[in-house]
A and B are shown apart, each in its own frame.
Chain A
Amino acid sequence: MSKPLVAVHKFSSCDGCQLAFLNLGPALLTLTEQVEIRHFLEAGLDDPETAVEIAFVEGSISTDEELARIQRIRAQSKTLISIGACATSGGLQALRNLGDTESDWRQAIYAQPEYIRTLQHATPIKDHVKVDFELWGCPINSQQLVAAIRSLLFGVPPLENDAKLCLECKRQQAVCVMVTKGTPCMGPVTRAGCGALCPRFGRDCYACYGPGENPNTDALAARFSGLGLLPDAIARRFLLINSNAPAYRDAGLKALPSGRYPTQHD
């Protein structure tokens, strides 16, 4: 039987999620015995046009070229998986969606702004094409990746884990940083999957895995306020890595008296 074909595509991103492949160590070689990676530029595989069983997509869409490219990728891929915050929610760079700022910034930054063609917003893959599965995280880790590939090789859909981080803290027996230190932790509204890394290191979660199921953002915003956070600071908690995920975006903008981000700063 021929091996299933796999492609790894990159859009606007930091390359960190692709590292879930390249950091597999010797297991990377084992993986290539089970699947055939056809396209993965960073790894030296350049074949973007071949039809594949599984396409992994990193990064958000922020240019016309990217818009056209994701359509082609969708058309030639049986299963399309978005990997990481950039691809799944728009990522950190989606902060620019919150204000009417992109063209101003381009003007401010480049001497010849007319050469820089970018869309006004940085958007997740699912805004443009059907996404079959999402792997959340900034970055995703190798376990998520391997689990997803394994499920697909067995012909079953990868398991969706949208439980909250707080549950993972309990499982890991991590001490709650909000209760013991009064640190404004995003755990109560964040999806599990990382292994509760931040609380285990004695710090607040900053929600790099995105919203968990039915996040009660109002209750958490009220709690932050009780801990002494001012509205701006509450908004910044929600508006960071996954600011374009609706639950966080709404909660962040709601916290701001002006309802606008970025707040004026002088």
Chain B
Amino acid sequence: MPDSRHCLQDAIQLNMTERRIKIHVPALTRVEGEGALHLEVRNDTIEQLQLSIFEPPRYFEKFLEGRAYSEILDIVARICGICPIAYQMSAAQAIESAFGSEINPWAQDMRRVFYCGEWLQSHALHIHLLALPDFLGFQNAIEMSASYPKEVRRGLQLQGVGNALISLFGARSVHPVGACPGGFYRAPDLPAVQTMIAKLEAARPEAVALLEWVCTLPLPQDDQTFTSVSLQHPREYPLYSGRIVSSNGLDIAAEAFDAHMQENHRPHSTALYAHLDGEPYLVGPLARLNLNLDQLPDAVANTLQQATAGTAVTFPSRNMFHSVVARAVEILLAIDEALRLLRNYHCPATPAVAVTPRAGTGVGASEAPRGLLWHRYDFDDQGLVRSARIVPPTSQNQARIEADLHRSLRTFGLDQSDEALRLRSEMVIRNYDPCISCATHFLDLQIDRRP
């Protein structure tokens, strides 16, 4: 937001030659879903800046009402083709918590492995197909692959390993069918797990090379102040579960989240804006890494240290452009975590515990590739959904994205060419890997009840 000091500056500069810029990007490319950017600059002032999200709402929270608990995982997956597992895992935890069910340690571990597949797939896709063309000066990855064939191929291969890991537990990588309340429908057999371990082992050096490479990219230097929010877990890097913490000292159980988080609606967007205790905040890979450096396994921490030595990259980082590095770190982490857990694999007595419905409310929170994903369901005694509420990462980041655009464009220089300003805006937005398909479908049913 332009503060009073800047307004003063604008007034002083009014007698200089006036410059007006209007930049309208009607359809942002290389993001999930459909959004537009509208920017109006007069001289030294940003008069209007909107990340408009105009995807039509798909009303998932309403569709869930009246459906059985056993259908939820198949329904919520359809919110997002890139992170269906995040939706399934947050929902499964909410269901189990509402019914007082404890899944067995095998299922607990394997859900983490399953989820690692999604991080690997989603981050590899984002880095290579969505983000890298910005840093290397191409329109898209297909064009980029002519100059960087090895790197693009490596990225697509890592993405493929992530997809294979998801399919091991879910039969397919988009809207997998293997997870259920209580655990999984089926446990993979040993030979399939052995094959997967071999794939992960082969991918590991590639992930190390990727991390080393992204640290050497020409990433803009742009430090800023923001609040990071993520899950935190006493024993491991947060992924499947944990408490919600922030860089401002917040430390709450997932159940308490909605007491601190407010969502509101703005005319230019079908997504809601979330604030934490009144402030915009960041969720996603950079926030997670900033808050959980201590939880990185030694091998990953050491590789990160070597990769960043002699570069401008350090963590914790206040530079949003380091998000791409955080994603590469989490790719390596996902491979190592999957390997650690699969090397101890055994076939369980049963892949799922029986889940018995009862009336009540349950909350589930997990770390989607793009950040904290929070679900709450209220059930009747038959296990039918009475009401559902879902808060996806992108609507949490939306206020932060606009705040970032305001200050990044100023730092970048409003006197830059229209084309340069447009490109910089898009790069800033892509740092957040916004998932617009996710963002539009969630809506706070509390809102209308206010006078």
Contact = CB atoms under 8 A, between A and B. Distances in A.
Given A42-B32, A236-B71, 16 more contacts: A15-B33, A22-B129, A26-B153, A42-B129, A43-B141, A44-B29, A44-B129, A92-B63, A105-B59, A105-B62, A109-B59, A109-B443, A197-B171, A197-B177, A202-B186, A241-B78
Main secondary structure on A side of the interface with B: loop
Pick from A10, A42, A95 the residue with the most CB of B within 10 Å: A42
Interface in A38-91: 41-46, 48, 62-63, 66, 91
Given A43-B141, A198-B171, A14 B133 contact: no
A265 B65 contact: yes
Chain A CB count within 10 A is highest, among B171, B178, B264, for: B171
A93 B289 CA distance: 36
Contacts of B326: none
B265 A236 contact: no
B2 to A, nearest CB: 24
Nearest to B140: A44
Given A43-B142, A138-B175, A19 B82 contact: yes
Nearest to B180: A203
A107 B62 CA distance: 12
A203 B386 contact: no
B408 interface: no
A121 to B, nearest CB: 12
Contact of B142 (A37, A106, A109): A37
A144 interface: no
Contact of A22 (B55, B80, B125, B268): B125
B75 to A, nearest CB: 7
Contacts of A233: 68
Interface stretch (B103-111, B154-162, B218-226, B302-310): B154-162
A12 B448 contact: no
Contacts of B413: none
Contact of B175 (A16, A93, A95): A16
Contacts of B299: none
Given A26-B153, A29-B142, A12 B58 contact: yes
A236 B67 contact: yes
Interface residues of B, number: 70
Contact of B129 (A43, A115, A194): A43
Interface of B: 27-34, 55-59, 61-63, 65-68, 71, 74-75, 78-82, 84, 125, 129-130, 133, 139-142, 145, 152-153, 156-157, 159-160, 163, 171-175, 177-178, 180, 185-186, 264-265, 267-268, 270, 380, 384, 386, 437, 443-445, 447-448, 450
Interface residues of A, number: 66
Interface in A104-122: 105-112, 115-116, 118, 122
A141 interface: yes
A23 B267 contact: no
B391 to A, nearest CB: 13
A96 B59 contact: yes
A146 B193 CA distance: 28
Given A25-B160, A92-B75, A112 B265 contact: yes
Contact of B56 (A12, A18, A19): A12
Contacts of A46: 27, 29
A26 B78 contact: no
B447 A111 contact: yes
